[in-house]
């Protein structure tokens, strides 16, 4: 039985098409900068929002109509959901998906029951991956929903909870390996705090470093060679999440000796919650060789929480793709739609409209970014702007042949320094020519 009998495989029909079930920009086989759009964008659907999101919020009950889901936590229902998910992803023509352990398989009454539930569902996931060719972008462990994690997981005040989190992480890495995942994500669920009166921050952050080092050690032992990602987020659910932004994450990874095995998975809504733009976060990670993957969504300027909306803003996707292309594109990562339809968009068809819109927005961002890069105007402006560093005094400073004394001498004879305009408005207008 098909869950979406009214939908056939979504195809590219070009910008003139008025078919809401067609791509207007995403043309998977089209070559951009020497690679297909499919390989550039590596689109991924998330299991949690798309197949487990029920539309409930703190003010109201579930709204989503999902006729294939009987609403129980049975294995049968979980397996059926996997079939539906793969039908959806096949029709949407996405190459990847992502999940948490507890999204795909029900939590059991004991750890071993949870693990065997996960094994049973992994059988079905494996079958469907083989049938469709759709791959796992990344797996992860949900160490924030169960009440045992109320104080955090790796950063819990309770050592037994740390041990439980270690067990859950071990199993999740086993499943990622089994399903041949390209990566494995650590988003710091409840790794943070509400109040420092009761929190030993140093001890908690040390424990997080310990758990991640254990994960690396275990992955090496079993031969899981996917990339590990951490996903910065400044707040929610805790007031202060330890992995607050790209800079904090990179400092953490460096301090705990994890730089070689980890990269960042950067999410737009998290970037803006931390008071940065997505482009800032991508650039900060990229310049240190740590840009791995993105969780593609968007927040709302008027709402101060993680609304996880689908990205449709062409400026946003263009900026994302400018940064991603600049740093050489994705290797293990991709454009992962960590986004959910609004609770008022409760019909199954809304899942298609939402994803098609996000894919088209990113395809258009890719095309626009490539055109800007081909034109070269931004790069030329930057080259010119920093040209005083390319020869003479600037080059000498950069190569380390000066100290404060010799520069003080050089400054003596300089007279008035002539500066040039930063041309921000000129460049904003320039970008608009491509949009
Ligand atoms: C929550 C995070 C989460 C991660 C996966 O805000 O975005 O969904 O991506 O654990
Ligand atoms: Ni995310
Ligand atoms: Ni998020």
Do 176 and 242 belong together in one domain?
Answer: yes
Do 353 and 398 belong together in one domain?
Answer: no
Q: How far apart are CA 347 and CA 270, in angstroms?
A: 27
CATH number of the domain to which 210 belongs = 3.20.20.150
**The pair of three-digit structure tokens given for residue 47, joined into one six-digit string:** 């299991």
**The pair of three-digit structure tokens given for residue 290, joined into one six-digit string:** 């740590």
Q: Is 100 a catalytic residue?
A: yes
State residue 354's pLDDT score.
99
Residue 18 lies in a domain: no
Do 410 and 319 belong together in one domain?
Answer: no
State residue 258's pLDDT score.
98
Domain boundary among 335, 354, 374: 374
Distance between terminal CA atoms of the chain? 43
pLDDT tens, position by position, 363-375: 999 999 999 999 9
Q: How far apart are CA 120 and CA 326, in angstroms?
A: 42
Of 186, 268, 177, the closest CA to residue 230 belongs to 186
What domain range includes position 410? 378-434
State residue 122's pLDDT score.
99
Crossing angle of helices 159-178/201-222, nearest 10°? 30
Please compute Rg for the chain using Cα positions: 24
State residue 1's pLDDT score.
84
Does the C-beta of 233 come closer than 6 Å to ligand 1? yes
The number of angstroms, rounded, from the C-alpha of 162 to the middle of its chain's C-alpha atoms is: 25
pLDDT tens, position by position, 295-322: 999 999 999 899 999 999 999 999 999 9
User: For the chain, which residues score pLDDT lower than 70?
Assistant: none
Count of domains forming the chain: 2
Do 328 and 418 belong together in one domain?
Answer: no
pLDDT tens, position by position, 340-360: 999 999 999 999 999 999 999
Domain boundary among 374, 401, 425: 374
Ligand approaching nearest to the C-alpha of 190: 1
Q: How far apart are CA 39 and CA 49, in angstroms?
A: 24
Do 131 and 238 belong together in one domain?
Answer: yes
Q: Are 201 and 153 in contact (CB under 8 A)?
A: no
Do 305 and 278 belong together in one domain?
Answer: yes
**The pair of three-digit structure tokens given for residue 276, joined into one six-digit string:** 């940065």
| Mutation test residue for ligand 1: of 265, 273, 295, the one with most atoms within 8 Å of CB | 295
Q: Is 103 a catalytic residue?
A: yes
Do 369 and 388 belong together in one domain?
Answer: no
DSSP for 56-107 reads -BTTB------TT--SS--HHHHHHHHHHHHHHHHHHT-SEEEEEHHHHS--
Paired with 406 in beta bridges are: none
């Amino acid at each position: 039985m098909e869950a979406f009998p009214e939908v056939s495989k979504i195809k590219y029909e070009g910008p003139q098409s008025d078919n809401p079930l067609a791509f207007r920009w995403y043309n998977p086989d089209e070559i951009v900068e020497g690679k297909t759009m499919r390989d550039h964008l590596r689109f991924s659907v998330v299991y949690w929002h798309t197949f487990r999101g029920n539309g409930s919020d703190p003010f109201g009950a579930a709204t989503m109509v999902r006729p294939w889901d009987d609403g129980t936590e049975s294995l049968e229902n979980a397996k059926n959901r996997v079939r539906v998910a793969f039908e959806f992803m096949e029709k949407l023509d996405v190459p990847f998906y992502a999940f948490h352990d507890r999204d795909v398989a029900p939590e059991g009454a004991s750890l071993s029951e949870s693990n065997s539930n996960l094994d049973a569902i992994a059988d079905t996931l494996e079958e469907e991956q083989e049938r469709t060719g759709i791959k796992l972008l990344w797996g992860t462990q949900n160490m924030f929903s169960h009440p045992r994690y109320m104080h955090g997981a790796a950063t819990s005040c309770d050592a037994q909870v740390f041990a439980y989190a270690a067990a859950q992480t071990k199993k999740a890495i086993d499943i990622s390996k089994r399903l041949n995942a390209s990566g494995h994500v650590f988003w710091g669920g409840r790794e943070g705090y509400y109040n420092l009166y009761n929190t030993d921050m140093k001890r908690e952050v040390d424990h997080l470093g310990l758990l991640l080092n254990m994960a690396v050690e275990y992955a090496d032992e079993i031969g899981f060679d996917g990339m590990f990602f951490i996903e910065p987020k400044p707040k929610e659910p805790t007031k202060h999440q330890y992995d607050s932004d790209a800079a904090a994450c990179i400092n953490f990874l460096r301090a705990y000796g994890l730089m070689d095995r980890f990269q960042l998975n950067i999410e737009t809504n998290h970037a803006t919650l931390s008071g940065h733009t997505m482009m800032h976060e991508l650039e900060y990670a990229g310049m240190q060789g740590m840009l791995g993957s993105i969780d593609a969504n968007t927040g709302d300027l008027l709402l101060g929480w993680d609304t996880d909306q689908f990205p449709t803003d062409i400026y946003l996707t263009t900026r994302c793709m400018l940064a991603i292309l600049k740093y050489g594109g994705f290797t293990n990562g991709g454009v992962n739609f960590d986004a959910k339809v609004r609770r008022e968009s409760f019909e199954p068809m809304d899942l298609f409209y939402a994803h098609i819109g996000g894919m088209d927005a990113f395809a258009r961002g890719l095309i626009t970014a490539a055109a800007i890069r081909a034109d070269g105007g931004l790069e030329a402006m930057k080259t010119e702007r920093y040209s005083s560093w390319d020869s003479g005094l600037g080059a000498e400073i950069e190569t380390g042949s000066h100290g404060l004394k010799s520069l003080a001498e050089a400054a003596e004879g300089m007279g008035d320094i002539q500066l040039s305009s930063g041309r921000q408005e000129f460049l904003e207008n320039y970008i608009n020519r491509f949009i």
